[in-house]
Amino acid sequence: MKNQKGFINIELIITLILILIFLTTIINLNYQQYEIIDETQNRKQARLLVDDITQIINTQNTRPEGYITTYTMPDKINNETYILIINETHISINSHYQIASSKLQKTNIKPKKHILTPGNTYQFKTKNKTIYILDE
């Protein structure tokens, strides 16, 4: 009888160790999934900002002379700083390794390369079939 109690205790210890290993594995997998979802959300916010600016510039191409669109850049994306670069062919953003870009319709932009910074307000103005990006 004494030997059976010791055998039951060893079985209990082995069972608890296996349960702990199983729970640790499940928690680790859930954490990895959470990180993947978080990275996807980060890319989404950068993509939405690029799409907003692309839409403004592409729409500005079809607007009449003197038309102005004002846009205020968000202070941060995903609680991080970022840089948005516009040139005649595309727009790109870099937000702590979250890179997104979009092609523009054929357009004439002045200045040819413009860097939009967080928290600032910009005017997109059409004049002589050229889009001017002005700091407000």
pLDDT for residue 2 is more than 60? no
Most confident of 24-28, 45-49, 95-99: 24-28
> Rounded distance, CA 96 to CA 115, Å?
16
- Per the prediction, the chain carries an average pLDDT of 86
Q: Enumerate residues 6+ apart whose C-beta is below 8 A from 8.
A: none
Q: Which of 131, 9, 4 is nearest to 63 (CA)?
A: 131
Residue 42 — pLDDT band, cuts 50, 70, 90?
A: low
Could you count the other beta carbons within 10 Å of the beta carbon of residue 1?
4
Dump pLDDT digits (tens) for 68-90.
999 999 998 878 889 999 988 88
